[in-house]
Amino acid sequence: MSSIENDNLSLYLSAYLDGELTPEESALVKRILEENPEARALLEDLQVGADLLQNLPRHTAPATLLEDIGIHLEREDLLNDIPASRVETRTPWRRQFAAAAMFVIIVTGGLWGFVKFGPNLVDPKREMLTTTGKIDDSPTVSAGDVSNLPPLTSKTTPKSSSPVTEKSTAVTSLAHVLSFEQKAKIGMSAREVLDHRFENESNKLMLQFENGEDLTATYARLLEQLFDRGGTNLRETPLPTRLDKIEGELFYTGLASVNYPANSDRQLLIRVPASAINEVFTQVKADTGESTNAVLKLGELRANGWEEAERLALQMAGDLDVSEETTMLAQSDPEATESGTQKIIEENSIASLLVGLTGINDDVIAPKDRASLEAARAAGNAKRMDRDRPPVDPKSPIDRRAKDEREYKDRTKGQSGEGANSSTTSGNGRTNDSPASSKDSKSASTADGDSPNPVIKAPDAAEKAPKSNNPSNDDLESAASKDHQPDSAAEQTGEKSESAEKENRDTDHTSLAKRMIAELEAKHASRKNTAQASVENGSATVPQLPKQEDPYITLVIQFVSPPKDEVEPRIPPETSTSKPKTEARKKPNSPTATKEHGATSKADKPKENKLNGELSHSAR
Amino acid sequence: MNRPFQAFVPLFGTEELAKRPKIQVNPAAGRKREPLSLEGSRLIEQVQSKDFEAYGRFVRLHQDRVFNTCWRICGNLEDARDLTQEAFLRGMQSLADFRGQSSLYTWVFRIAVNLALSHKRKGKTRQTLSLDWSPLAEGTQAAELAKRMHDARAETPEKATADAELQGEVIKALNALDADHRAVIVLRDIEGFGYREIAEILEVAPGTVKSRLHRARITLREAIKPYTARQ
């Protein structure tokens, strides 16, 4: 074995395997390998072992790692620059020191108490007195002795705002900045976790199933669907009062078929490509049907049932007033409906919800659908501009929704003053008619009775207008733009031919859609420029991964059983508050449904809160 | 069944190994993973000037490797998550101490490995379920799900069981190594570091790395020999 000793052979082979030998040593080992079959076998074994190790499963780091680090740094600021490591739970020696200090204090206090009160307290007669509450006949005990006892009431120290209290307040305030996982991890209550608001979690969406029935099959199907569409990073956590005990973590990337019990005390977290969400939800919706109330939670928004979710999706995706839009589409432009515009919007609903609410990049939507979504958004923007509203920030859906609600409130006020069947005028003069009233509010353009595009006039002119059965979206828009014109101008407008109207309408929509697309392209171009700048800065090798561009979202799935004796808090879509929404979708021509539709979000609010409480209770 | 996740399915088991050409060692090339870029002085300057964004990019680039190393050393995913976070936090907080004698990446890795080793030595591993399906986790509900998933991916049930058993033994043997040896073999065979880098990370001599790695491999070989021989 030439210059290499037998004992060292494996050492050299190991280094040879790694290419860490000098050329001379390497040549020597090669020669030995040629001569010695045992050496070859040993090298082969080492290679097999190394390969097995190299092929062990690997995991990606938690998606929230960077965010968690940021939160830690933020927490440092909150806690007056105390290093995060000091308030971390991962400081055993500090804990031990604190425990030891506490022990010393207790022992010292106990000794002090014993020294001061000990002789009396250990007196058996005194014990008898204190335990029975009456003075014994024994001559050794007297009333005087009793009066000489030290006062039993402990000294109360005045409360002061200690640094500890201030710190605990600061820690409490952290509840607002902690992520969903962090809340669960540090053991916040189940209610805190269930009520978690997702508005700052741009990559999370919660799907909650409320059903007292066994949802094992649903659970299995849902998992299968998610995995089939690229779901990964599956984690399951229990939902007890404290969630710091992680029962199991499954980081598997594949699944054929599972039969996994769905329990009410578990939640599932899974990373799913956002583009697959819509498809999965559609399937699950079909599977669960009416028996299960699926709740989608995102930020302040809580959608009870699929229809509510779809409504929200439509509303947020294109800033559309869904009920109005649907009504107008059906009434005014049957072709648009038939061409599938509405259908496509509905198909996009859940994905739109994500896009609208979480700011997930539009790229996650298939190009075909994106075009229709852009068109829908353009339509929504057209309406918005007609209302003379100030431009809204599309990235702040919560604000946008609040604005919508305020506007709706204004409109409702106007409506209540004019009666049920009269035109409802918004604060900016926009008119929204029911079919009954629209028959009365005709534009001059329909005077010949042929035009299906009546212009809805201001209330004073509406009474004089001839009948029309087809108030359209564009009519409303044109009315909004012209409601300050004299009647003669409106009549002039009404004399336009139908084809010219349609052409104008198409042009409007097309230009709006083009503008939207141009804005999108500009946004992408600016991103590209930023990336280019980073290349020039020398940080080109670093991939830029803004949070919004992550094509994955984490889906939090919970199965929550409501308490058996309290059925009332559940708000299925069929109940009083949700019914109008259903009707509005089924009967787009119904003005009542249209009006009530927007009010549901407010009406639902108290019940939602109550529902949250009940759910939390049941989860515990 | 062609599934989108198949690209992530790890290859393990003797059958895959048997298909490979035997002993094709290229001593010059070694078994390195991807080159470690982004070690320029510019980034270090940015990070040292508390440029959170630059540090964020740095974290994103290296988090997976740090996470996997912590996981394999401490043996628990939850702990690995905490350790990774702690390592990057400490790296950020103590950047003033970084003198540039090693690369920033190696330096952060040293923090992570030291944390993981310290964690392992204190025996603070949480009582959680095994993450890879193996006979070790048998009998639990989650393990059952993992097993089903694993079986579904395998060509035959027998092969699935054999592969899983072998992998379970490898993990068991790895966990049985003492912390120092485990760190070396993880850094070399799982993460693909060179001896010099490992020496920097562990702050030991390259010769120590060589001998520890050798001992670890021999121990591992003895542990899995019955299974590799049987298959």
Number of domains in chain B: 1
Q: What is the pLDDT of residue A360?
A: 43
More confident residue, B97 or A29: A29
Q: Encode pLDDT of A75-119 as tens digits.
A: 665 655 444 444 444 455 667 777 888 888 888 887 777 666 655
With an 8 Å Cβ cutoff, is A230 touching chain B? yes
More confident residue, A53 or A372: A53
Q: Which chain A residues are closer than 8 Å to B63 by Cβ? A: 61, 65-66
With an 8 Å Cβ cutoff, is A528 touching chain B? no
A565 DSSP 8-state letter:
T
Q: Which of B9, B81, B174 sits opposite A253 (nearest CB)?
A: B9
For residue B120, being part of any structural domain is answered with yes
Exposure string over A500-513, b if 16+ CB within 10 A, otherwise e:
ebeeebeebbeebb
Residues 130-169 of B with CB under 8 A from A: 131-133, 140-143, 145-146, 148-150, 152-153, 166-167
CB contact under 8 A, B27 and A16: yes
List the domain range (segments joined by +) for residue B90: 35-128
With an 8 Å Cβ cutoff, is B110 touching chain A? no
With an 8 Å Cβ cutoff, is B78 touching chain A? yes
CB contact under 8 A, B8 and A55: no
For residue B55, being part of any structural domain is answered with yes
pLDDT at B215 over 80: yes
Closest Cα in chain B to A84: B89
Residue percentage of chain A with pLDDT more than 70? 18
Q: Which chain B residues are closer than 8 Å to A257 by Cβ? A: 148, 152
Give which of A53, A70, A1, A472 is closest to B73, Cα–Cα.
Answer: A53
Q: What is the pLDDT of residue B184?
A: 92
Q: Which of A40, A42, A69 to mutate to test the interface with B (most CBs of B within 10 A)?
A: A69
What are A56's two structure tokens? 């062990």
pLDDT at B185 over 80: yes
With an 8 Å Cβ cutoff, is B187 touching chain A? no
CB contact under 8 A, B145 and A250: yes
Query: For all residues of chain A together, what is the average pLDDT?
Result: 53
Q: Encode pLDDT of A145-168 as tens digits.
A: 334 433 333 333 344 445 455 545
Query: For all residues of chain B together, what is the average pLDDT?
Result: 70
CB contact under 8 A, B67 and A60: yes
Q: What is the pLDDT of residue A499?
A: 60
Tell me the shortest Cα–Cα distance from B114 to chain A, in angstroms: 14
Q: Which of B89, B170, B195 sits opposite A52 (nearest CB)?
A: B170
With an 8 Å Cβ cutoff, is B214 touching chain A? yes
Tell me what ipTM this predicted complex has: 0.72
Q: How confident is the model at residue A346 (pLDDT cuts 50, 70, 90)?
A: very low
Lowest mean pLDDT among A23-37, A47-61, A512-526: A512-526
Q: How confident is the model at residue A483 (pLDDT cuts 50, 70, 90)?
A: very low
Dihedral over alpha carbons A378, A383, A387, A389 (to 10 degrees): -30
Integer angstrom CA distances of residue A143 from A127, A151, A152, B61 = 15, 15, 16, 81
Helices A349-358 and A306-318: angle between axes, nearest 10 degrees: 50
For residue B103, being part of any structural domain is answered with yes
- With helix as H, strand as E and coil as C, how does A11-75 read? HHHHHHHCCCCCHHHHHHHHHHHHHCHHHHHHHHHHHHHHHHHHCCCCCCCCCCHHHHHHHHHHH
CATH at B108:
1.10.1740.10
With an 8 Å Cβ cutoff, is A50 touching chain B? yes
Q: Which of B1, B78, B90 sits opposite A246 (nearest CB)?
A: B78
For residue B97, being part of any structural domain is answered with yes
CB contact under 8 A, B149 and A62: no
Q: Which of A21, A51, A56 to mutate to test the interface with B (most CBs of B within 10 A)?
A: A56
For residue B134, being part of any structural domain is answered with no
For residue B43, being part of any structural domain is answered with yes
Q: Which of B145, B151, B156, B163 to mutate to test the interface with A (most CBs of A within 10 A)?
A: B145
Q: What is the pLDDT of residue A537?
A: 61
CB contact under 8 A, B224 and A538: no
SS3 content of chain A, % helix, strand, coil (to 5): 60, 10, 35
For residue B180, being part of any structural domain is answered with no
Q: Which chain A residues are closer than 8 Å to B174 by Cβ? A: 53
Residue percentage of chain B with pLDDT more than 90? 9
With an 8 Å Cβ cutoff, is B96 touching chain A? no
Q: What is the pLDDT of residue A491?
A: 46
With an 8 Å Cβ cutoff, is A387 touching chain B? no
For residue B92, being part of any structural domain is answered with yes
Q: Which of A432-446, A510-524, B119-133 has the highest mean pLDDT?
A: A510-524
Contact at 8 Å (CB) between B74 and B182?
no
Q: What is the pLDDT of residue A516?
A: 55
Burial (0-12, 13-18, 19+ Cβ within 10 Å), A24: exposed
